[in-house]
Structure formats: structure tokens, C-alpha cells
Amino acid sequence: MLGKLAGISGRPGVDTGTDDPALDRLQLESLAAHLPADSVRQLLAAFSDQIGTQILSIEALCGAGDLATLAREAHSLAGCSGNFGALKLSRLAREIETACENADAEGSARLVSRLSAAAAEASAGLRDWLSIEGCPGVLPTRHRRSRRAQGKPVSRV
């Protein structure tokens, strides 16, 4: 499943229609189009759980001044966030990675201090997408329209 995810991610130059969107909804729709609904739900839940742990690790590395390891962890967060359409979080992680590569400890620390808020925004956006805007098969049952409400024939078995 992760191999399939990697194959549909990374759409450089995507115009998402806003100046600095938290989420790339087209990326989320692409995930939903290529993966079973339960897999999408599981992956997004795992991502939301994982980023909290990853941010704690990044904060600890920043506090320890380990810029090389911090750069690698930020790179990992950037890629994972991008795969799930969390654009703002991905961009911020890339900026941290670049600051580390430039040996800019102060810049890295300033950027790391913004990670928790960006992660919370991404997680909230993902939850909203799943509960409100998601695609057929991903929406919770209470948000799906019945076949009759969609104007489709209802078979009686």
C-alpha cells in the first residue's frame, strides 16, 4: 500500500488555488481514487498520530543542536506530509531542512517553534476532509447520500 502511495505522490507545481493552503485537496482526492476507502482512513489516522511523535523528536534534536539528524528528520516529515497533501507542514519541514543544511541553528529553532501549529492545522484539515469533503467511499456513512437521494435505482434483493 505504501508503494502505491509513493507512486501517486509528489505533484510538483500543483496550483491549489490559494496563496498558502494547509492542504492539497487534489492530492487527497488522488489518494482516495487510488486506494480503498478504509486504507485512506487508516493512512490518514496513522499520519496524524505519527506527526506528533515526529515533531517531539524534531524539537528534541533542535534543543540538542544536532542539525545533521534534525535535517534528516525534517526531510522525512516533509516527504510524508507532502504525500498526504499537508502542504504548509511539508514546506515548513523543508525550510527546517534547508536551515540545518546551512548550519543556521537560530533559523532552525525559529522554524521548529512553528511546527506544532502547522501540524495541528494539517490534522484538523485532514479530519475535516474525511468528515465533510472526502470522496465516495471515504465519507462516514452519515454523510453519504442514499442511492434513492442520488436518483439511482434501488434494487430489492
Confidence label for 16 from pLDDT (cuts 50, 70 and 90)? very low
Q: How many domains does the chain have?
A: 1
86 in any annotated domain: yes
For residue 35, give Cα distances in angstroms to 7, 18, 150.
12, 26, 23
Tally of CA atoms within 13 A in the half-sphere of 3 that contains its CB = 0
140 in any annotated domain: no
Q: Quick: pLDDT tens for 58-67.
A: 999 999 999 9
CATH number at residue 63: 1.20.120.160
Q: State the distance between the two ends of the chain, measured CA to CA, in whole angstroms.
A: 34
- Three-state secondary structure call for residue 151: coil
6 in any annotated domain: no
Confidence label for 32 from pLDDT (cuts 50, 70 and 90)? confident
89 in any annotated domain: yes
Mean pLDDT across the stretch 27-46? 89
Query: What is the domain extent for residue 92?
Result: 21-133
Query: Does the pLDDT at position 13 exceed 70?
Result: no
Q: Quick: pLDDT tens for 66-83.
A: 999 999 999 999 999 999
116 in any annotated domain: yes
40 in any annotated domain: yes
pLDDT value of residue 55:
94
Query: Does the pLDDT at position 122 exceed 90?
Result: yes
12 in any annotated domain: no
Confidence label for 9 from pLDDT (cuts 50, 70 and 90)? very low
pLDDT value of residue 142:
36
